[in-house]
Amino acid sequence: MSTATATPRTGVEIVTNSTNLLGPILVATDGTSSASAALKAAALMSDGESARVMVLAVLEPLPLVAADYGLLLPPAETDDARRQALLTRVYDQIAETVGAQPSWEVQVRNGDPAAVIARTGREVEARMIIAGIGQHDLLDRMFGGETALHTLRLARMPVLAVSPDFAALPQRIAIALDFSQPSIASAQVALQLLPSAKMVYLVHVAPRLELQPEAYAAWMSDYSEGVGPAFERVRAQLDIPPGITLETITLNGKPTKALLSFAKSANVDAIVTGSRGAGLVDRILVGSTATGLIRGANCSVLAVPALQSATQRHMVGGTPDEIPESEWAAALDAFTRRNAGRLATLEVDDPAIGAQPQQRDIPFLGAAFDHHDRRIELMLGEMDDKSRHLTRGIEDVRHLDLLKDSTGRDWVLRVAHGSGQTILTLAR
């Protein structure tokens, strides 16, 4: 979820929904107790709708061992034995967690857990992925306990990260909203995936601006006038089923901290948040606190990839254009000539720490590509103020994308590097 930076709009738009609500439930397990809650959740969610459940365990490759004469490969029979042992653990876990063997499909695949889980979800057109949320201690994070979080970053369908003490389907849920159409679409999907909900909180975290106290108070007064109509717009679009009590909540502060604090005080069973999907448009239009929520929540977290409204798809003029590497230098030079002086926001998105804004509303000065170092540099700052100047050098560049708005004007420049990305958004 990202907080809005302008007064919430009150118009009504139609949101399209591409989530396959008839697909199977994909539940991920490693055969350990940390995944038992995910299996229990899958059993409860599939019982009422007789949904098909697919259980997936991923066998991670053994590390290669360096020897004096090269790399020492593990024998093939080792993988066969590990696969069989994992499969046995999973079947035992299913029997222990949900009772007699249900008619679930069980698969063991090889590779990186998060990548394999997300890819399998796409292959089987899963309605959702369920995974254990894991523990929150440092060692768990260091040694790969955040599979649910990494899966979320790769998945194109909703991911339910289930808390270790999960015992029943969520009845009290908090849906994070920023009043954008993608966040409303995510809320619609969440209500369909969690029909057990009886109490629904629509929660909006008001934006924080670096203003003088008097100016901030005046701005918040204007902003607050638009919150009520915005909530009414959301109510009209969500079509809340009968039997559900709905309450709207406005909070202040940092989104993650505010949401976690509210969830604890309200005894919430699950927090729903939009997540920024794999597409560039999704990652720009809807910010996400999903990383912080999954890392800090004591309840379950349902993260729904951002969906786009028809209006937004027209506004952004389609998908971003990937620029071939042979054209990077010329494209960045032309981009600089067209846009030097425009206000821009720079965001660095690292899978390890999430999205981190670097600069907001600062003039864009230029971009260049160094063929020798294979390095892209983005320069921002005031022409006549050397103290407010930033140059970001980006190495290990993989892709360069440019997104234009419906008028053909440059809007977003994305540099994908390593396992992360740097995003330059120009003011429109």
For the domain that residue 250 is a member of, what is the CATH number?
Answer: 3.40.50.620
What the block records as the tokens of 403 is 């997104």
CA-CA distance, 37 to 149, in Å (whole number)?
A: 16
Residue 165 within any structural domain of the chain:
no
Residues 214 and 183 in one domain: yes
Residue 163 within any structural domain of the chain:
no
Residues 280 and 199 in one domain: yes
Residues 70 and 176 in one domain: no
Residues 148 and 269 in one domain: no
Find the CATH number of the domain harbouring 331: 2.70.180
Residues 210 and 149 in one domain: no
Domains contained in the chain, number:
3
Last residue of one domain, picked from the residues 270, 290, 312: 312
Range of the domain at 259: 172-312
Residues 307 and 321 in one domain: no
Do residues 362 and 344 touch, judged by C-beta distance below 8 A? yes
CA-CA distance, 122 to 141, in Å (whole number)?
A: 26
CA-CA distance, 220 to 226, in Å (whole number)?
A: 10
Residue 48 within any structural domain of the chain:
yes
CA-CA distance, 63 to 93, in Å (whole number)?
A: 26
Residues 308 and 176 in one domain: yes
What is the DSSP pairing of strand 300-305 with strand 159-162?
antiparallel
CA-CA distance, 214 to 411, in Å (whole number)?
A: 33
Residues 227 and 340 in one domain: no
- pTM of the complete model: 0.65
Task: Find residue 424's DSSP bridge partners.
Answer: 346, 413
Q: What is the pLDDT along the chain (428 residues), one digit of tens a residue?
A: 333 334 444 333 434 445 566 789 999 998 888 889 999 999 998 876 667 899 999 988 776 554 555 555 556 557 788 889 999 999 999 999 988 767 899 999 988 888 889 889 988 889 999 998 865 444 443 333 467 777 877 788 899 999 888 989 999 999 998 887 778 888 888 998 998 999 999 999 887 666 667 776 776 677 777 888 888 888 888 878 888 999 999 988 888 889 999 999 999 999 998 865 444 434 433 335 677 788 788 899 998 886 533 333 333 334 457 788 889 999 999 999 999 999 998 888 765 555 566 777 889 999 999 888 889 999 998 766 666 678 889 988 888 888 887 678 888 898 888 767 888 988 87
Residues 117 and 201 in one domain: no
Residue 121 within any structural domain of the chain:
yes
Could you write out the three-class secondary structure of the chain? CCCCCCCCCCCCCCECCCCCCCCCEEEECCCCHHHHHHHHHHHHHHHCCCCCEEEEEEECCCCCEEECCEEECCCHHHHHHHHHHHHHHHHHHHHHHHCCCCCCEEEEEECCHHHHHHHHHHHCCCCEEEEECCCCCHHHHHCCCCHHHHHHHHCCCCEEEECCCCCCCCCEEEEEECCCHHHHHHHHHHHHHCCCCCEEEEEEEECCCCCCHHHHHHHHHHHHHHHHHHHHHHHHHHCCCCCCEEEEEEEECCHHHHHHHHHHHCCCCEEEEEECCCCHHHHHHCCCCHHHHHHHCCCEEEEEECCCEHHHHHHHCCCCEECCHHHHHHHHHHHHHHHCCCEEEEEEEECCCEEEEEEEEEEEEEEEEECCCCEEEEEEEECCEEEEEEEEEECCEEEEEEEECCCCCEEEEEEEECCEEEEEEECC
Do residues 271 and 194 touch, judged by C-beta distance below 8 A? no
Residue 3 within any structural domain of the chain:
no
CA-CA distance, 313 to 310, in Å (whole number)?
A: 5
Last residue of one domain, picked from the residues 157, 183, 198: 157
Q: What angle do CA 386, 392, 394 make, to 5 degrees?
A: 160
Last residue of one domain, picked from the residues 260, 281, 312: 312
Residues 308 and 330 in one domain: no
Residue 2 within any structural domain of the chain:
no
Residues 308 and 338 in one domain: no
Residues 299 and 343 in one domain: no
